[in-house]
Structure 1
Amino acid sequence: MATSVEGIAHELNLENVDPLPEDFDPTGVIKDPLPPLVNDSRVGVNVEGNGEVKKEREIVLGRNVHTMCLEVTEPEADDEVTGEREAYMASVLARYRKSLLERTKHHLGYPYNLDFDYGALGQLQHFSINNLGDPFIESNYGVHSRQFEVGVLDWFARLWELEKNEYWGYITNCGTEGNLHGILVGREVFPDGILYASCDTHYSIFKAARMYRMEFEKVNTLTSGEIDCKDLKAKLLCHQDKPAIINVNIGTTVKGAVDDLDLVIKTLKESGFNDDRFYIHCDGALFGLMMPFVKRAPKVSFKKPIGSVSVSGHKFVGCPMPCGVQITRLEHISALSSNVEYLASRDATIMGSRNGHAPIFLWYTLNRKGYRGFQKEVKKCLKNAHYLKDRLRDAGIGVMLNELSSTVVFERPHDEEFVRKWQLACQGNIAHVVVMPNITVEKLDKFLAELIGKRAVWYKNGTFQSPCVASELGNENCFCGLHK
């Protein structure tokens, strides 16, 4: 069973920490301060319907972090580690852990499954496990976890219907690395290809275009966040002389929209692109592992003409460190591979050293849950997402939930402190809650009660109108004065 936040809090024993200097508070919680508000003269301000001025948060390199950094203090040159120094460090870590407990209680806006228990793997934390080079070729470095890594890769290859002798892949350090690798494979297959990605695509895809100096086209999206295949076709027809490299979103970052893979393939062929003139990368960071367990969902499969799929391991799976899985066709990988004598191996990855602990965590979860376990968790997430959507709608709050998603999108809260407390991801006039396996109905009820109470204050019990979100969510999902 996963350890609850309350269980961890009960386990946390601050009383045993050695005495500290009088000016040090061992019970305090390390807080992340809000960035300072900008001056009106520097950046435009938004004026709300109630006449109040709402200032934007400022993002300034370095300023946010250095307001709360924990300074490293150097011991004396001839000083051994003393009990006092150990006590100080232990108390800082205890405070930090306490702050993590508090922040975990109010975690709603980012797609991380915090419901996990890897206590059995604590025995491995004393080893520097590094999966250098190719997962399928032994390196001189013996402290690795390739046997776990390949086991995980085989599981995902079966999920996406690709035979063992037809795929290549590796455990990445994050979802972005999976996207960078997928687009790189596409670029190597078609060096003169044009990258097509929707406006709602994750920023890592556009980062890849910049890094690889690729020509790319941004494609419009529907209100749902799904790629607009009419606009895709129009842009493809303008570049029929060059191959197409397409990013297909299996769940967009903000709205959780799933691009219609079959329609994208049909659009390519109607535009004159046969299978040998396009490469499709599927970014399934969050929903790539959820969708196979949704009955009505279209299938992502290598039996279709796709080139690669990537998912994040720290999202729906639930892993304490960022990681991911990248799978592509073996036939494509030779263009990327190079022998590395230093490793006595071959390498076709983005990074050199790779976290050898991550494959073990993924292997452990896959063995504990399996297909049935994931199917049960997906069902729970979708059910709770619909619960949240219905409650928001009942409260007169503009809200949207895509059919195949657990990402509930709604009007952005007026108060930045509220956004910060619940760790909501915001974009323009909208915010979202990503319902993960650790998000319970009780937690959603607490969030709803606070949000509804705050809105009564923000909008003076209906005296002032809430913001219009029709352009982001559609007229039918907006409850402003014009659309309700």
Structure 2
Amino acid sequence: MAGSVDVLAPDSSINGTTKSLSEVFNSKAFISDHVPLVAGENGIGKGEAQNGTENGERKIVLGKNIHTMCLEISEPDIDDEVTGEREAYMASVLAKYKKSLTERTKYHLGYPYNLDFDYEALSQLQHFSINNLGDPFIESNYGVHSRQFEVGVLDWFARLWELEKDEYWGYITNCGTEGNLHGILVGREVFPDGILYASQESHYSVFKAARMYRMECVKIDTLCSGEIDCDDFKAKLLCHKDKPAIVNVNIGNFLLLSHSLMHFLSPFLLWLLHINISGTTVKGAVDDLDLVIKKLEEAGFSHDRFYIHCDGALFGLMLPFVKRAPKVSFKKPIGSVSVSGHKFVGCPMPCGVQITRSEHVKALSRNVEYLSSRDATIMGSRNGHAPIFLWYNLNMKGYRGFQKEVQKCLRNAHYFKGRLVDAGIGAMLNELSSTVVFERPHDEEFVHRWQLACEGNIAHVVVMPNVTIEKLDAFLNELVQKREEWFRDGKCQPYCIASAVGHKNCLCAIHR
């Protein structure tokens, strides 16, 4: 399986008295003192660290109340400058914190962040307050900005997605969620009475957008793989044929539109189709866009009534380098694309890239005299350091570097899934995904140690460039050892994950 995914070669045409310090950063101390919260208990740590259920539903175990471990700020004493005790204390706090970060990074597997990067060369810029407030393409009166880097990054992604410089608009966002909020906001501005459709396994930011914009939202059922249930989608469309729709779709064919649909795109849109190629949050599943469009046709919606936004939070920068994955391209009838910069690219702060056709952003744009610029973004002030980090990384790696990293991630994901199954642990890996889903561990201490993302009876590991074979082996060896302890007396049994990932992927006592 490791060699079953082909990776594209790069396109050469696209370039590129001293206070005592508490053990607040000690991971083991944190775990032993861990009193997780249970949703619905007013945010105070009264819940039990169990994976049990209540009234047939699993309790949601929340993390520790940070007020029990926060670092208070105290006013300096008059003689602090003379003794230097405060500086020594703060230095010791930061040193311990750095040690904790190193340790937690070593045991990071559950979230889609590439932690393998080195930006030491950019440390000289941390002395400046770099702010890209306003439109990236129009310089404001605030001169300490990095727009020249930001537009360079945007040009790189516009070329990747095949959109000409004079036809696109975009900006560096603060995170992937902001990309979703921006795309859905465009749709809401154009169609104020539109209904938002999204599969129940879509990223939580989609439903946050619905709440923020007070949009009616219809959740669509999903299959066991995590893909949208298109029959349920059609049925719910038929119930609301009188209103425009804003549809969030996790793309399976990754914008593989049939050529017969291309010429129906209208510049004046009555329907916003918001497309998510980041995969579902937990399973990494992606939907079949062609089937979604077919269901739209069957429900009586004409082709000139949609606008497509592609949410490529994680996989948006991986898929261009996989042969069997159709390209994300503005030569197809899409309106905008967004990716996260702190995920596959690897950036020390959350950030993202949003690209849209210039004609669409007019619905949001307002000139602001105070800035001497234009406002078309979600945020006002924007992190001016993030574009520089992205620019630096893109220059260092280029398309060839990302190609190699994609190949490594997919190969390691197939390896890990195979090892889980060989160890008798139910697991699933969607095609073209680096997210491996498996049985949820039986105690929250183990989940916390490895920073796993869990939902119901399943957990997942996202294989990123920093996740090596050695790290996967270490995790699996520890998991196997823990399972022997959990299941030794027969009181505990492996979770059944058939309802979440299908019978063929479950290795519980019933489905083994």
The alignment status of 1:256 with 2:284, answered yes or no, reads yes
Residue 133 and residue 392 in structure 1: after superposition, are their counterparts in 2 closer, same or farther (change >3 A)?
same
Partner of residue 254, structure 2: none
The answer to whether structure 1 residue 176 and structure 2 residue 204 are counterparts is: no
1:270 matched to which residue of 2? 298
Contact 1:313 1:322 in 2 (8 A): yes
In structure 2, the partner of 1:473 is: 501
SS in structure 1 opposite 2:411?
helix
Cα distance, 1:260 vs. partner? 2.2
8 Å contact kept, 1:248–1:281: no
Name the CA distance, whole Å, in 2 between partners of 1:462 and 1:393: 21
Whether the 8 Å contact between 1:172 and 1:323 is mirrored in structure 2 is: yes
- 1:51-62 equivalences under 5 Å are 56=59, 58-59=61-62
Question: Residues 60-119 of structure 1, C-alpha deviation per residue, up to 9 Å, x if partnerless?
Answer: 8xx611111011111136854752111110110000000001101100001100010111
Q: Which residue does 2:318 correspond to in 1?
A: 290
1:80-95 matches, cutoff 5 A: 80=81, 82-95=83-96
Distance 1:47 1:279, change over 3 A: closer
1:237 is matched by which residue type in structure 2? L
**Which of 397, 400, 404 is equivalent to 1:372?**
400
Structure 2 partner of 1:419: 447
Alpha-carbon RMSD across the aligned residues, in angstroms, is 2.6
AA partner of residue 362 (structure 2): S
Aligned-residue offset at 1:238: 2.0
Cα distance in 2 between the residues matched to 1:122 and 1:423: 28
Q: Distance in 2 between matches of 1:178 and 1:78?
A: 49
Structure 2 Cα separation of the partners of residues 480 and 91 of structure 1: 48
Instruction: State whether structure 2 residue 334 is matched by structure 1 residue 337.
Output: no
Residue of structure 1 in register with 2:417 after alignment: 389
Aligned length: 459
Whole-angstrom distance in 1 between the partners of 2:75 and 2:98: 23
Residue equivalent to 2:144: 143
Matched, 1:35 2:35: yes
Q: Does the aligned pair in 1 maintain the 2:36–2:49 contact within 8 Å?
A: no
Structure 1 vs Structure 2: percent identity of aligned residues? 77
Aligned mates of 1:55, 1:281 — CA distance in 2:
34
Which letter does structure 2 place at the counterpart of 1:194? I
| Aligned counterpart, 1:160 | 161
Q: Which amino acid aligns with 1:165?
A: D
Work out whether 1:435 is the aligned partner of 2:432.
no
Shifted more, 433-442 versus 286-295: the winner is 286-295
| Corresponding residue for residue 5 of structure 1 | none
For residue 112 of structure 2, what is the amino acid of its counterpart? P
CA distance in 2, matches of 1:364, 1:447: 32
2:458 alignment partner AA:
I
The one of 455, 475, 484 aligned to 1:447: 475
Residue range with higher mean Cα deviation, 329-338 or 406-415:
329-338
- My pick for the range that moved more, 191-200 or 70-79, is 70-79
Distance 1:28 1:248 in 2: 40
SS of equivalent to 1:334: helix
TM-score, scaled relative to structure 1: 0.89
Aligned to 2:14: none
Indicate if the aligned counterparts of 2:224 and 2:500 stay in contact, CA closer than 8 A: yes
Q: Distance in 1 between matches of 2:82 and 2:62?
A: 39
Residue aligned with 1:255, SS: coil
Moved over 6 A (4+): 25-28, 41-49
Letter in 1 for 2:238: L
Contact 1:162–1:303 (8 Å) recurs in 2: yes
Q: What is the CA–CA distance in structure 2 between the aligned matches of 1:445 and 1:97, rounded to whole Å?
A: 26
Q: Which amino acid aligns with 1:311?
A: V
Query: What is the CA–CA distance in structure 2 between the aligned matches of 1:64 and 1:379, rounded to whole Å?
Result: 40
* Aligned counterparts, 1:391-406, within 5 A: 391-406=419-434
Between stretches 324-333 and 227-236, larger displacement belongs to 227-236
Indicate the residue corresponding to 1:348 in structure 2.
376
Q: Which 10-residue stretch deviates more, 322-331 or 187-196? A: 187-196
C-alpha deviation, 1:305, in angstroms: 2.3
2:132 alignment partner in structure 1 = 131
- For residues 404-457 of structure 1, give each alpha carbon's deviation from its aligned partner in whole angstroms, at most 9, with x where no partner exists: 100000010001110000000111110000000000000011000000000011
The 1:260–1:328 alpha-carbon spacing in structure 2 relative to 1, beyond 3 Å, is: same
